[in-house]
Each structure stands twice: as C-alpha cells, then as structure tokens.
Structure 1
Amino acid sequence: MRTTGDVIIEPRHARDLVITRTFAAPRELVFDAWTQPELLRQWYGPRGWQLTTCEMDLRAGGRFLFVLERPNRADMALRGTYQAVDAPTRLATSERWDDDWTDGETRTTTMFDERDGVTTVSRIIEFTSAAARDRALGSIGRDGLEEAFERLDDVVRAGRDDAARPVAGQNHASPSDVGRDDIASRYRRRAARFEELISGVGTVAWASQSPCQDWTARDVVDHVVDMHAAMLAPLGRSLGPESSAVAGPIDAFTSARAQLQLALDDPAVAGTASDTPTGTLTFAEHVDAALSVDLVMHGWDLARATGQDDTIQDEDLQLLWPIAQAIPEQFRVPGAFRPGLVVFGPQVPVAADAALQHKILGMYGRDPAWQSPPAA
C-alpha cells in the first residue's frame, strides 16, 4: 500500500487498484461534484489543467466524454459508458483514454459512503492485466491525483458552507428554498429509483390495477412521462419521439428523464421562472414541488401494483411529511385546475400511531393497505 497525502492507493487482487479519500462533506455534495458538469469542471484534473469538454448522459447505458487541456502539452480525452448510476452511493463505468496509457478499457466502481458528515470515496479500478495495473500504480500519483482531489475538496467544502449559511428572515428550508444542486440531486436519485421499478415489472404485470383509480401500472408510467413533458413545456421544450405513447415504458421514461436532467443541470434553465398552479416558480422549484414528489408517490403506486418493494426512503419521508400536512384542500377538488384533473384524492384516515410512510400515503389519498386485485 502507498499513501500520498490524504489519498490511499492500494493494489488488490490480481489486477485491481483501490483509491480511497475522505471529504468533510455529505455524500450528496460529493456525488454531485462527481456527476454535474459545472462542478466537475472546477476540479477534474491537476492544478493548471482544464476540463474543456464535459459531455455526460448520466444513466445506465449513457456515454460520457471528458477532454482535458494540459499546459504546453496535448489534450487528453477519456471516453466511457455508465454501467450503473445509483445516486448518491455508487457509479460504475467502463472507460478508455484516447492515448490508451492503461492498455485498454478499464472498469471503475466509485462508491460514496457517509458517516457523521464525512464521506469516504472508494474507487475500484479493474485493469486489463496485472502489468497494466502495476504501471498505473507507479505513475498515478505523478499524474496529479492528489491535486485533483484537493481541488474536489475545495469544491465540496464550499458547497457545504453555502448549505449551512443561514438566510436572513428564514427559520427553515422548504423544498423550494434549497439550492438548485440539491434539487437536481434529489430528482436524479428519485428518477433512478423509479427507473429501477420500471425495470422490475414483468410483461404481464403492466396490465395490473394500480392504487390510482382507473389506472394500470402502465398508466402510472405514462402519467409520469406526461409530467416530464408538462415541466418542460413552459421552457418551450418538448419530449422526443422516444418518449411517445408507442415507446416501451422503460424507453419512454429513460428518454424523458435524460431530457429533464439535462435542463435541470443547466443553471440558466433551472433558474427560469414561470407561472404554475402554486404561483411563480423557477423550473427547478417546479420540478421539486411537483414532478420529484410524483416520482416518490407514483413509485409506491407502481411497486404496489406489480408486487415490488414499496418502501419509501426515510430521507424522502422526512421531506414529504411537512409537505403532506400542508396540502391545500383545493388540490383535492376534482377539476379545480382544469376539467377532468384530480391532483389528490380524499385523505385516507390512518391510525395515530401508524408508521410515517402510512401517514404520508394517507395524506396523499392512498390507502396503505391497498393490494392489487388478483388477475382474472
């Protein structure tokens, strides 16, 4: 094992290299710094280097291209494919440098583990051979890994300090008060979970009744895709044919998700304000208040309809509880916003000592005990 500064570089097994470094920031911030182009450009590479190209399709099967400009030297390009994106805990990629100094494609798994506000990043790199791994081990420190991680540390510390800084006249933060980066990260995590549920639906199960009256499991996904289109409409954008009704559920959603995330990750677009049923909101705020919440609730609908794990993450329960308690009664009136539209059904009573998930489901008009009827 070789330790360089705060970075631990350790060979493992026949051809793996494990790189570990801790950061004094929540893992959501570190994950965002690793996956959002505007943040990656601030730290990726040693000091003096610039990430001039940062193209990312952050989803399983999506591709990325990073081009680094080096002082007085030729540019370096890294191309790859995301094998898994599990925000904010894990990224898995296959990648290759254009100058091929690693002797072929490497497979990298990056894990983000937080304890007491400190995040440990562990990168497991699988090389094509033990010889390729050993050459990398001898040069990786000199290539500026430590400097890059120092720059990353500066980025996440700044994000942590900004998040902790109080806002005058504000006692607590609501979902629309948090930073755009937090909103983008929350959407990314919830969309990944919804996509996981879609992938777990069998062919026959798409016709299963859902907890939403008159909707099948497929109808739930179609509605969520339509919500993506509704979010983009005020920007003058629309979903492509890949998200049309004739597309399969997984293709329709992944395409809509990619377009929404692209808009959300653009600061200029995310800050664009427009009129919504709840007042004037920025694009990011509107996504967080409507679509992102839909992903959680309709994720439960889809899971319950198709026999999958319907547990809502504790982080989401804590965020949704105050929102659920403040749902305006107008939102429960059919057609209040437009004919035929039902935003929330009547509140379903649950026991006072019920689990928090059950209380929230009841507030959102769901019966926590609902079960999909047996197939005819």
Structure 2
Amino acid sequence: MRTAADLIIEPHHSRDLVITRTFAAPRQLVFDAWTQPELLRRWYGPRGWHLTTCEIDLRAGGRFLYLLQRPNRADMALRGTYQAVDAPTRLVTSERWDDDWTEGETHTTTSFDERDGATTVTRIIEFTSAAARDRALGSIGRGGLEDAFQRLDDLVRAEPDDTARDDVGQRDVGRSDDGRDYIAGRYRRRAARFDELILGVGSDAWASQSPCEDWTARDIVDHVIVMHAAMLAPLGSSWEPKSATADRPIDAFASARARMQHALDDPAVAGTECSTPTGTLTVAEHVDAALSVDLVLHGWDLARATGQDDTIPAEDLALLWPIAQSIPEQFRVPGAFRPGLVVFGPQVPVAADAPLQHKILGLYGRDPAWQQ
C-alpha cells in the first residue's frame, strides 16, 4: 500500500487497483472539478504537465478526450467513454491511453461519498491483466497522482484561516495555470450570461427593487458598467462609459463589454500591473477578482429583481466557494477603501444543509430568500 497524505493506492482482487483520496469540500464541488473542463485544466496531470485539450460529453455513451502536454516530451492523450453518469455520486468509464501503457482499455468506477462536508473519492480501476495492474501500481504514484490530487484539494478546499495571501482575488481559485486566456474566457462567458439577463428584463421591470438596498434593476446594470471603467482606470484610461440610466441598458453594457474584452484579449494590456485595493495585480487578475465576480453576483441580483432564472452555473459556484469563505472582514466595513463604498454587506446566516448557492450568497452578504 502506498500513501501520500490521505491518498491510498492498493491492489484488489486479481487485476483491480483501488485509489482513495478524501478532499475537504462538498461532493458537488469535487464532482464538478472532476467533470468540468475549465476546472480539470487546473489540476489534472503531474506537476509541470498541462491539460491543453479537455473535451467532455458528460452523459452515458458520451466521450471524453484529454490531451496532456509533457515537459520536453511528446503529448499524451487519454480517450474514453462514459458508461454511466450518476451526478454527483458516480461515474463509470472505459478509457485508453494512446501510448497504451495500461496494455489495453481499462474500466473505472469513480464514486464520490460526502460525510461532514468532506468528500471521499474512490476509484476502482480494472486492468486487462494482473501484470498490467502491478506495473501501474509500481508507477502510478511516481506518475504524479499525489501532485494532481493535492492541486485538486487546493482548488476545492475552503481555508478561512489562510493568510498567506491577504486578499480575495489573488488566490489560485478563479485563475488557470496559464493565466490570461482562461481569465478572458471566463469573463466572456459571464458577460454573455449577464447580457442574456439584461435582454430578459421586461420594459416595466427596470424600476424594480433589487436585493441591493437602494438599487433598482437599472441601477444594478449601471453599477456593473461603471465597474468596467474602474478596471481600466489604473491604465490611465479616460473612457467614460454609457450610462444604463441614460441609454438603453443593453446598448450601454454591450459597449462596456466590447471594450473590456478587447483589453483582456491584448496580452500587453491584460498583463500590465496596477495598484488595486488588494495589492498589485495585473489588469487581467484584477478583472477576474472583482469585475468577473461582480457579473455573477449582480447577475443573481438582476435575475431575482426581474423574475428570471437566478441559478448560478455550477462551475461558478465551484470557483466562488473557496473565495467566499476567505473574504477579509475589511471588505465588509463601509468606507474602508473610500468614503461611501460598501464592498460586501454583513454575512447572512443560512442553514448548514442549505444549497451551495445559498451558502455563497450568504457569505457575500445576500439573503437567498429575498423576494420583491
């Protein structure tokens, strides 16, 4: 038996290998990190390797493809088929590596069992022979499984007492290993969702009260637009965005969105360092830590104020959960950064067994039960 932290790798029956690891996070987060390409790219593979291609069709009969780029070596591909998908408790797959180091197709059952907020992942891998299993047993630890699982644990773990980096936005959660491309893609996806919510607001709903005290639905959009300008201000930008209160909200947001996407897609701009309330960040990091998160939270505000679907995507919940549990108290103090500015309101208590979305909203100072 080999162990690393709480990682256990041991033979079972004639040709099976059982891998067990416990992660300090709810099952849904771990399952999402295991099945969503944006999250998988952040942890899968040995240290120094990069998951450059990750294609997943998460359904019984659906296929997946992982292409791993290895340092100074040829790329390595894993292809497989989902035999069963019981989210978020079980995956059954058949898979094969292109270089066939497992000597044929393996069959794997991965289970996700949650207890007291921690999730134990158990993988039972059936090899083609006992000899193939034994060779895998001798090399699988050295192949980087411990490193990969540690990165997964770091990704999903909530560490409220972690003071190594005294900020919300600079944590690795919410950023990819290679940085700006994923930040730009994440902004693009979240901005597109916010755009859809704006389009879904009825003409008589713009004056509706939002969950943010003293803000209407129109005020929410106007704030998000102003935030776009604030992200570029450290670069010396004198851009004055259109106002959602003076122009059509969709036109005003579209203008701000296009300008921000152009900035994030320009490596010279996105990589420029600037001073922020949480320290020195690149423009891309600042956008990811503040504006991109605002799109998710204020998207919920806008949806709730105007009677739309307020479900936050699972991949965003996975990214926000560790960050939400590490919000410094300074962010809840009115005027801490400038007079009149309130970043987050007081934490709103929710039940211990509440859905993850409710827990995150409560940590960000929102009442998940708020209604018009």
Structure 1 residues 117-146: Cα deviation after superposition (integer angstroms, max 9, x where no partner): 8369xxxxxxxxxxxxxxxxxxxxxxxxxx
The alignment status of 1:320 with 2:326, answered yes or no, reads no
The alignment status of 1:256 with 2:202, answered yes or no, reads no
By how many angstroms is 1:248 displaced?
1.2
* Structure 1 residue aligned with 2:206: 206
- Judged with a 3 Å threshold, the aligned counterparts in structure 2 of structure 1 residues 349 and 26 are, in CA distance, closer, same or farther, namely closer
Identity of aligned residues (%): 72
* Structure 1 residue aligned with 2:109: none
- Judged with a 3 Å threshold, the aligned counterparts in structure 2 of structure 1 residues 242 and 114 are, in CA distance, closer, same or farther, namely farther
* Structure 2 residue aligned with 1:217: 217
Once residues 259 and 114 of structure 1 are traced to their aligned partners in structure 2, the CA distance between those partners, rounded to angstroms, is 33
Once residues 271 and 217 of structure 2 are traced to their aligned partners in structure 1, the CA distance between those partners, rounded to angstroms, is 33
Say whether the 8 Å CA contact 2:219–2:245 is kept in structure 1.
no
Once residues 213 and 343 of structure 1 are traced to their aligned partners in structure 2, the CA distance between those partners, rounded to angstroms, is 13
Q: Which structure's relative contact order is higher, taking Cα pairs within 8 Å and 6+ residues apart?
A: 2
**What is the TM-score normalised by the length of structure 1?**
0.55
- Pairs within 5 Å for 1:290-305: 290-305=290-305
Once residues 280 and 336 of structure 1 are traced to their aligned partners in structure 2, the CA distance between those partners, rounded to angstroms, is 18
Q: In the alignment, residue 251 of structure 1 is paired with which amino acid?
A: D
By how many angstroms is 1:235 displaced?
1.5
Structure 1 residues 166-188: Cα deviation after superposition (integer angstroms, max 9, x where no partner): 79x98653225641111111100
- Pairs within 5 Å for 1:57-76: none
Once residues 189 and 27 of structure 1 are traced to their aligned partners in structure 2, the CA distance between those partners, rounded to angstroms, is 14
Say whether the 8 Å CA contact 1:218–1:249 is kept in structure 2.
yes
- Judged with a 3 Å threshold, the aligned counterparts in structure 2 of structure 1 residues 222 and 114 are, in CA distance, closer, same or farther, namely same
* Structure 2 residue aligned with 1:181: 181
By how many angstroms is 1:356 displaced?
0.2
Q: 1:118 aligns with which of 64, 88, 91?
A: 64
By how many angstroms is 1:192 displaced?
0.3
**What is the TM-score normalised by the length of structure 2?**
0.55
Say whether the 8 Å CA contact 2:190–2:296 is kept in structure 1.
yes
By how many angstroms is 1:27 displaced?
6.1
Once residues 36 and 332 of structure 2 are traced to their aligned partners in structure 1, the CA distance between those partners, rounded to angstroms, is 37
Count of aligned pairs between the two proteins: 225
- Judged with a 3 Å threshold, the aligned counterparts in structure 2 of structure 1 residues 248 and 324 are, in CA distance, closer, same or farther, namely same
Once residues 302 and 352 of structure 2 are traced to their aligned partners in structure 1, the CA distance between those partners, rounded to angstroms, is 26
* Structure 1 residue aligned with 2:347: 347
- Judged with a 3 Å threshold, the aligned counterparts in structure 2 of structure 1 residues 177 and 328 are, in CA distance, closer, same or farther, namely farther
- Judged with a 3 Å threshold, the aligned counterparts in structure 2 of structure 1 residues 268 and 156 are, in CA distance, closer, same or farther, namely farther
Once residues 351 and 361 of structure 2 are traced to their aligned partners in structure 1, the CA distance between those partners, rounded to angstroms, is 12
Once residues 119 and 187 of structure 1 are traced to their aligned partners in structure 2, the CA distance between those partners, rounded to angstroms, is 25
Say whether the 8 Å CA contact 1:317–1:357 is kept in structure 2.
yes
By how many angstroms is 1:26 displaced?
7.5
* Structure 1 residue aligned with 2:368: 368
Say whether the 8 Å CA contact 1:220–1:302 is kept in structure 2.
yes
* Structure 2 residue aligned with 1:246: 246
Once residues 295 and 239 of structure 1 are traced to their aligned partners in structure 2, the CA distance between those partners, rounded to angstroms, is 20
Structure 1 residues 334-369: Cα deviation after superposition (integer angstroms, max 9, x where no partner): 111111000000000000010000000000000000
RMSD: 3.0
* Structure 2 residue aligned with 1:136: none
Structure 1 residues 229-271: Cα deviation after superposition (integer angstroms, max 9, x where no partner): 0001111224456457522110010110000000001111111
* Structure 1 residue aligned with 2:98: none
Say whether the 8 Å CA contact 2:225–2:253 is kept in structure 1.
yes
Once residues 258 and 119 of structure 1 are traced to their aligned partners in structure 2, the CA distance between those partners, rounded to angstroms, is 32
Query: Is the partner of 1:207 in helix, strand or coil?
Result: coil
Say whether the 8 Å CA contact 2:263–2:269 is kept in structure 1.
yes
- Structure 1 residues without counterparts, runs of 5 or longer: 1-24, 30-111, 121-153, 158-163
Say whether the 8 Å CA contact 1:239–1:259 is kept in structure 2.
no
Q: In the alignment, residue 248 of structure 1 is paired with which amino acid?
A: R
Once residues 27 and 156 of structure 1 are traced to their aligned partners in structure 2, the CA distance between those partners, rounded to angstroms, is 17
